[in-house]
Chain A
Amino acid sequence: MSARREIWEVARREFVERWRSRAMRVSFGILLGLVVLGAVVATVSDKGTPTDDFGLVGSRAVALAPALRLADQADGRKARIHRLRDRAAAERALGDGDVDIVLLDGRLIVEEDRTSPAVGIAQRAIAAQRTVTRLQAAGLTREQAVAAIAPRPQPVEVLEPGARDRERDEGMLWVGMLLLFTALIVYGQSVASSVAEEKSSRVIELLLTTVAPRRLLAGKILGVGALGVAQLAVACAAGLIGAEIAGGEGLPPSAPETVALVVAWFILGFAFYSVAYAALGALVSRQEDLEATTAPVNVLLIAAYLGANAAIQDPDGTWAQIAAFLPPLAPLLVPTRVVLGDMGAIELLAAVAVEVVATILLIRAAAAIYERSILRTGAPISLRSALAAGGARGRWRIHVPTTVLQAVAVAGLVGGVIAGTDRPLGVVLIATGLLATVLYQYGRHRPRTPHG
């Protein structure tokens, strides 16, 4: 059977069986809930006009209602009027938090805070009402009197008009990073447990008689990855629709960019992390050992997530600039830097290139670990022994074409010099070039093992 068909069949089973599993459906439900909630909170939270709730008892107080509305309006606030029957009802309403303040026989009653905005508004409304009454007594019509004291709003100059949008971009990105982080952990762990399941149930021995381990690994990652992308896309769509329905100011202008970056970096990040999870999953013989064995990768992902949160505050800091080129951190750092920071197209491409090269190298190591560990049962295998022991005798080793390494080395070194060593991009490019050179030399001097 052709390699492509084998990989396709493995991926297909993985997709279908993962989707059927209850654990995956629960995770997806949680993911969906998180996104919709996050999107709604981000768009609704500090938008809309602040509101004061006034409780009015008696006809004198009710007569103040128009003045209260005007006073709130002048402050860019909104008044909600509640008519209450008596003092007892007023105290109940205050106690329940239904109203902020009660007006009763010319007196103001609050629950505890005498400095809340509602108190000031009410004071001003009462004062305005008295002024209007006096002006009317002096011979003005009511309309003239109201016009005389009506506030004339002065235009306000905003020094940073983009700041409001930026705040909303940050909110959006915060939700996006939470989603991306959760998805990488959930689907990465899913790959690990799928590998461990085949090993612990011993079905692996049956599979390997007809599927090469590398194809099995590739199919597994593609299958889970496809499910991840599909579910992530649904979650993003649900989030956008949720934010739209929640109304208010709607989505920030960066929304399409953020969604595209989240999905794209899920694919890149998943490729990177899933092979690491797969290799670690192959080290254990029992599902119970999985958590401890995959802990280092989980910690790395959590670090990336915390880093992204820090970068939301300071997207152009030196730390964030460097972290965007570190493959384990880049999936969560790059979208943050692109949306909020000054990361341009060239730097973005460079970060993608670094991630891709790192992933290729990681696949190489992970495939070797997977092949050597997958048939060894017993206590969890240490990484070192998995890399050292030639269980598979190099039969299924991945060869990165030396031309790729040469190209990366040259491009990294030349690009780094052009970018200049005073910029983080330049330093990272030169480091990548040097790493590729070392790997190329290492590959050249090591004798190839003949195929078994």
Chain B
Amino acid sequence: MDASNGAAALELTGLRRTFGDLVALDELSFSVAPGTLFGFVGRNGAGKTTTMRIVCGLLAADGGAVTWRGTPIDARARERIGYMPEERGLYPKMRARDQLEYFGVLHGLTHTRARAAATEWLERLGLGDRAGSRVEQLSQGNQQRVQLAAALVHQPDLLVLDEPFAGLDPIVCDLLTEVLREQAARGVPVLFSSHQLELVEHVCESVAIIDHGRLVASGAVDELRAGGPRMIRARVRDVTGDWTAGLAGVEVVERAADGVVLELAPGVDSQQVLDAARRAGTVVRFADEHPTLAELFRDLVAA
């Protein structure tokens, strides 16, 4: 595993795919480094599932390339992917452990190893006592756990998860976060899509935001958030009137009970704004304000 140098493990270059007249992917490029939790964000129909299916070999791209560790991805590399499709799917009548063993074997494990791994994952995910149950007999939440185990049973080198958090109860949600962090720590790149932007912001180190099949932004979450306009959240007590009035290059973007959010034009010294605040009253809060991922997303995608 070439985790040491931080080079891209999975790289998508200029992916194109059309369905009839619909352009689903339009020159989409981004890369995922080893050991990173990578969030893949976009509206419904933006092309997330298409991208993931192309990575997994379920769809052929019309153009562009997917490379894995520097070489074009092939069936051998794909065997090492752990995939969770958006439409969850397991054999309803097959027993949980048998099913996981089967998936493990199809991914190249021996029956003995696959069975051991299946048992291990079921126990880890709290289903040790249900290993012999048919999937249709399990509750929705437990089926989700088996689905997760199916993506992990062969100790994959790459995880591709389509909306893994959708429909999970909070407990499974925490469990999933924990497992994904663990996998990333093992050096596995984890590419997952989600609508829950707060969750992505909380879990991911990097994101790619796509819209209409095109990449809108990608990079480390912190950098993206810091890359927006300079904002300050300030709260001044015992103030009379609007202390921000008359400050050149300062615009109030939000007024709330606990203060104001100001956007500073380039070249405005934040310390002068602070001085103005102190003159007006008692400053109880004065800090840099970064947009949340959700705000960033709305700005980028609505534009």
A binds B: yes
Chain B 210-242 interface mask (CB, 8 Å, partner A; 1/0): 000000000000000000000000000000000
Is B259 close to A, CB under 8 A?
A: no
Contact between B85 and A197, CB atoms less than 8 A apart: no
Contact partners of A9 in chain B: CB under 8 A: 102, 105-106
Inter-chain contact B90/A203, CB cutoff 8 Å: yes
Smallest Cβ-Cβ distance to B90: which chain A residue: A203
Q: Are A21 and B78 in contact (CB under 8 A)?
A: no
Q: Is B60 an interface residue (CB 8 A)?
A: yes
> 0/1 per residue, B172-210, Cβ < 8 Å to A?
000000000000000000000000000000000000000
Instruction: Please tell me if A395 contacts chain B, counting CB pairs below 8 Å.
Output: yes
Q: Is the CB of A203 within 8 A of B58?
A: no
- A6-B106, A392-B60 known; A209-B89 Cβ under 8 A: no
Q: Which residues of A contact B102 (CB under 8 A)?
A: 9, 13
Q: Is the CB of A452 within 8 A of B106?
A: no
- Which residue from B58, B91, B94 sits with its C-beta under 8 Å from A208? B58
Most buried by B among A9, A197, A201, A393: A201
Q: Are B91 and A197 in contact (CB under 8 A)?
A: yes
A230: interface (CB < 8 Å)? no
Q: Which single residue of chain A is at the shortest CB-CB distance from B54? A: A452
CB of B40 within 8 Å of the partner chain: no
Candidates B79, B89, B103, B108; contact of A201 at CB < 8 Å: B89
A209 near B83 with CB under 8 A, answer yes
Is the C-beta of A403 less than 8 angstroms from some C-beta in chain B?
no
- Is there a chain A Cβ closer than 8 Å to B167's Cβ? no
B103 closest partner in A (C-beta): A206
Contact A201 B60 (CB under 8 A): no
**Count of B residues near A, CB < 8 Å?**
26
Known contacts: A1-B79, A1-B106, A1-B108. The answer to whether A205 contacts B93 by CB under 8 A is: no
Per the CB 8 Å criterion, the residue count for chain A at the interface is: 27
- Cα(A375)–Cα(B87), bound, Å: 11
**CB proximity of B88 to chain A, nearest CB, Å:** 7
Interface check A210, CB cutoff 8 A:
yes
B106 touching A211 by the CB < 8 A rule?
yes
Quote the shortest CB–CB distance from B187 to chain A (angstroms): 21
**Cβ A207 vs Cβ B106 within 8 A:** yes
Measured CA separation A206–B102 after assembly (Å): 12
Please state if A393 and B106 are interface contacts (CB–CB under 8 Å).
no
What separation, in Å, do the CA atoms of A375 and B94 have in the docked complex?
Answer: 21
Q: Is B45 engaged at the interface, CB distance under 8 Å to the other chain?
A: no
Q: Is there an interface contact between A205 and B85, defined as CB atoms closer than 8 Å? A: yes
Complex contact B56–A209 (CB within 8 A) = yes
Closest to A20 in B: B93
A202 at the interface (CB under 8 A from B): yes
Find the B residue at minimum CB distance from A1. B108
- A interface footprint on B85-101 (CB within 8 Å = 1, 0 otherwise): 10111111110000000
- Asked if A204 is an interface residue, CB under 8 A from chain B, the answer is yes
Is A249 in the interface zone, CB < 8 Å from B?
A: no
What is the distance, in angstroms, from A52's C-beta to the closest C-beta of chain B? 58
Task: Give per-residue flags for A1-44: 1 if the beta carbon is below 8 A from chain B beta carbons, else 0.
Answer: 10000100110010001000100000000000000000000000
Cα-based distance from A13 to B92 in the complex (angstroms): 14
* Docked pose: A209 CA to B88 CA in angstroms: 14
Chain B neighbourhood of A209, CB < 8 A = 56-58, 78, 81, 83
Name B89's contact: one of A6, A202, A210, A395 (CB within 8 Å): A202
Please report which residues of chain A, range 193-232, place their CB below 8 angstroms from some CB of chain B when the two chains form the complex: 197-198, 201-212
Bound-state Cα–Cα, A6 to B102, Å: 11
Say how far B242's CB is from chain A's closest CB, in angstroms: 58
Residues of chain B within 8 A of A377, CB atoms compared: 87
For the complex formed, measure the closest distance between the CB of A230 and the CB atoms of chain B, giving whole angstroms: 20
Known contacts A205-B58, A452-B60; decide if A210 and B85 are in contact (CB<8 Å): no
Interface residues of A in 414-452 (CB under 8 A from B): 452
Question: Does B107 reach chain A (CB closer than 8 Å)?
Answer: yes
Least CB separation from B83: chain A residue: A209
Q: Does B33 interact with chain A (Cβ within 8 Å)?
A: no
Shortest CB-to-CB span from A426 to chain B, Å, is 46
| Cβ contacts under 8 Å, B57 to chain A | 208-209
Verify A393–B60 contact, CB threshold 8 A: yes
B150 an interface residue at 8 Å Cβ cutoff? yes
Interface centre among A9, A198, A206, A393 (most CB of B within 10 A): A206
Chain B residues lying within 8 Å of A204, measured Cβ to Cβ, are 89
A156 to chain B, nearest CB (A): 63
- Given known pairs A9-B102, A202-B85, A202-B87, the reply for A17 and B107 (CB within 8 Å) is no
Shortest CB–CB separation between residue B118 and chain A, in angstroms?
A: 14
Do A210 and B107 touch across chains, with their CB atoms under 8 A apart? yes
Which residues on the B side are within 8 Å of A6 (C-beta)?
106
Q: Which 9 A-B pairs have the closest CB atoms?
A: A202-B89, A452-B60, A203-B89, A205-B85, A202-B87, A209-B56, A209-B83, A393-B60, A210-B106
List 6 additional A-B contacts (Cβ < 8 Å) besides A201-B90, A206-B89, A209-B78.
Answer: A1-B79, A1-B107, A198-B91, A205-B89, A209-B57, A209-B83
12 contacts between A and B (CB under 8 A): A1-B107, A17-B94, A202-B85, A202-B87, A202-B89, A205-B83, A206-B85, A206-B89, A206-B90, A208-B58, A209-B78, A393-B60
A residues bordering B, Cβ < 8 Å? 1, 6, 9-10, 13, 17, 21, 197-198, 201-212, 375, 377, 392-393, 395, 452
* B residues at A contact (CB < 8 Å): 56-58, 60-61, 75, 78-79, 81, 83, 85, 87-94, 102-103, 105-108, 150
